[in-house]
Amino acid sequence: MSEIDRELELLKKMLSNDDIEEIWINGPGLPVFIWHRKRGMINTGYKLSRDAIITFAKSVANMSGRPLSEETPLLDASLRTGDRVAIALPPVSPRGPSITIRKFRRKLYSIVELIENGTINDLVGGFLWVAVEGLRVRPLNTLIIGGTASGKTTLLNAICTFIPSNERVITIEDTRELNLSFIPNWEPLEAKPSYTGERGVTMDDLLRHALRKRPNRVIVGEVRGSEATTLLQAMNIGHLGSMGTLHANSAKDAITRLTSPPMSVPFEMIGVLDLIVCLRVWFTRGGTIIRRVSEIYAVGGLGEKKPTMDPIFKYDFTSDKIVMEAYPYLAYEKIAEVLLISPKEIEKEVERRASILRNMVKSGIRSVVDTRRIFERYYEENI
């Protein structure tokens, strides 16, 4: 085995280690850093040669069919595994060729696992189950917000397991992360960055394209630009139960970001959203990370300058419990009025589903496949 092969073998090992989330190669002869799922940033002490880095970079460029040279020194590409590679060559990277690899997490969290680790509780689970499925008639339009790595995409993917199998779902992302392979009629779309002389495909382009393909709902991985307005328009014209994540530290911050450039959503459209779910991260003294749904708001007031935002669930740090802050009348009413039933009936349904989730926790039914089977059976028998 040559020296280069040995170095590449080492890189392969890091790529297949599921505890490693990110790999940072800053340049030849410099220590390789990683981000470890449980331990955070680690200096591995390994150093790679220029030849090894270039060999790897070239293989990525070849596979992606995109140029990589001194003239086009930046390259973003996905590996077949979904792992994302960002390459920079000199002169933009003066310490020599550098590579960052963000690994695609193969393991999805199920709703039951998020209950088990305290991200939500069974009542919030039952609530989100009813909200996302909407008793077949009125799924709620939901935005998941939070800071960097607060678990937005993870929660979004987990609540998508509530989507019934007879729906057509299109996901739109900058970087492929969502995995809805449990939905038979799922079409993922991924934006294409623009290169010199070539126009890319933006998230907004994709969203407009998606709306011509008769989806029941569209799911936008991370809302950042002009696609925000298109997403809210989609919700408004009947793609109910559409969802997305947004980087924001509070619901108020989310509205400000949505209505300011580059997103520039007209104020009167905010009320087309039904729910805002906020995530937050806390670091304990022992150095462990806890992720919790910190608040859930019901949104209303479509067409008004001042949309209403009622807090319905709130996380209390001292007791480590998520409690119902106010009766979710607005959210229940939106579903109940279509069915000509009382909001009380929706409340009962939320409690019934919360108890099913509780039983799943007790009996250890926790994989995405197994939880999904239970949800499907429930729809067959009850809806």
Q: Which residues bind ligand ATP (CB under 6 A)?
A: 21, 37, 105, 114, 117, 119, 146, 148-154, 222, 245, 247, 291
Taking the complex as a whole, the smallest distance from the CB of residue 146 to ligand ATP amounts, in Å, to 5
DSSP string, 230-270: HHHHHHHTT-TT-EEEEE-SSHHHHHHHHHSTTT---GGGG
Q: Which is nearer to Mg ion, 169 or 178 (CB)?
A: 178
- C-alpha to C-alpha distance for 314 and 230, rounded to whole angstroms: 30
Check: CB of residue 276 under 8 Å from CB of residue 251.
yes
Residue 151's binding partner among ligand ATP, Mg ion, none (Cβ under 5 to 8 angstroms by kind) is ligand ATP
Name the residue among 169, 67, 157, 165 with its Cα closest to residue 111: 157
Residue 171's binding partner among ligand ATP, Mg ion, none (Cβ under 5 to 8 angstroms by kind) is none
Measured at CB, which residue is nearest to ligand ATP?
A: 151
Name, in order, each residue with C-beta under 8 angstroms of 261's C-beta and a sequence gap of 6 or more. Answer: none
- C-alpha to C-alpha distance for 42 and 175, rounded to whole angstroms: 25
Q: Which is nearer to ligand ATP, 107 or 344 (CB)?
A: 107
- C-alpha to C-alpha distance for 146 and 280, rounded to whole angstroms: 6
Strands (E), 136-238: 142-146, 168-173, 185-190, 217-220
Residue 291's binding partner among Mg ion, ligand ATP, none (Cβ under 5 to 8 angstroms by kind) is ligand ATP
Taking the complex as a whole, the smallest distance from the CB of residue 382 to ligand ATP amounts, in Å, to 28
Taking the complex as a whole, the smallest distance from the CB of residue 111 to ligand ATP amounts, in Å, to 11
Name, in order, each residue with C-beta under 8 angstroms of 316's C-beta and a sequence gap of 6 or more. Answer: 322, 323
Q: Please provide the distance, in angstroms rounded to a whole number, between the alpha carbons at the two ends of the chain.
A: 61
Taking the complex as a whole, the smallest distance from the CB of residue 203 to ligand ATP amounts, in Å, to 14
Q: Which is nearer to Mg ion, 138 or 291 (CB)?
A: 291
Q: Which is nearer to Mg ion, 191 or 331 (CB)?
A: 191
Taking the complex as a whole, the smallest distance from the CB of residue 368 to ligand ATP amounts, in Å, to 14
Q: Which is nearer to ligand ATP, 222 or 349 (CB)?
A: 222
**Sheet with 275-283, edge to edge strand ranges:** 185-190, 168-173, 217-220, 243-247, 142-146, 275-283, 289-300, 308-316, 321-324
Q: Which is nearer to ligand ATP, 26 or 153 (CB)?
A: 153
Residue 292's binding partner among Mg ion, ligand ATP, none (Cβ under 5 to 8 angstroms by kind) is none
Taking the complex as a whole, the smallest distance from the CB of residue 117 to ligand ATP amounts, in Å, to 5
Q: Which is nearer to ligand ATP, 151 or 164 (CB)?
A: 151
Taking the complex as a whole, the smallest distance from the CB of residue 14 to Mg ion amounts, in Å, to 22
Residue 105's binding partner among Mg ion, ligand ATP, none (Cβ under 5 to 8 angstroms by kind) is ligand ATP
**Per-residue b/e over 14-30, b at no fewer than 16 CB within 10 Å?**
beeeeebbbbbbbbbee
Q: For binding to Mg ion (CB under 5 A), which residues are involved? A: 152-153
Q: Which is nearer to ligand ATP, 153 or 216 (CB)?
A: 153
φ/ψ of residue 355, rounded to 5: -70, -30
What is the phi-psi region of residue 29: left when phi exceeds 0, alpha when psi lies from -120 to 50, beta otherwise?
Answer: left
- C-alpha to C-alpha distance for 279 and 277, rounded to whole angstroms: 7
Taking the complex as a whole, the smallest distance from the CB of residue 57 to Mg ion amounts, in Å, to 26
Residue 146's binding partner among ligand ATP, Mg ion, none (Cβ under 5 to 8 angstroms by kind) is ligand ATP
Residue 102's binding partner among ligand ATP, Mg ion, none (Cβ under 5 to 8 angstroms by kind) is none
Taking the complex as a whole, the smallest distance from the CB of residue 202 to Mg ion amounts, in Å, to 18
Q: Which is nearer to Mg ion, 98 or 161 (CB)?
A: 161
Residue 148's binding partner among ligand ATP, Mg ion, none (Cβ under 5 to 8 angstroms by kind) is ligand ATP
Residue 216's binding partner among Mg ion, ligand ATP, none (Cβ under 5 to 8 angstroms by kind) is none
Q: What are the residues facing 170 on neighbouring strands?
A: 187, 218
- C-alpha to C-alpha distance for 13 and 370, rounded to whole angstroms: 31
Name, in order, each residue with C-beta under 8 angstroms of 284's C-beta and a sequence gap of 6 or more. Answer: 290
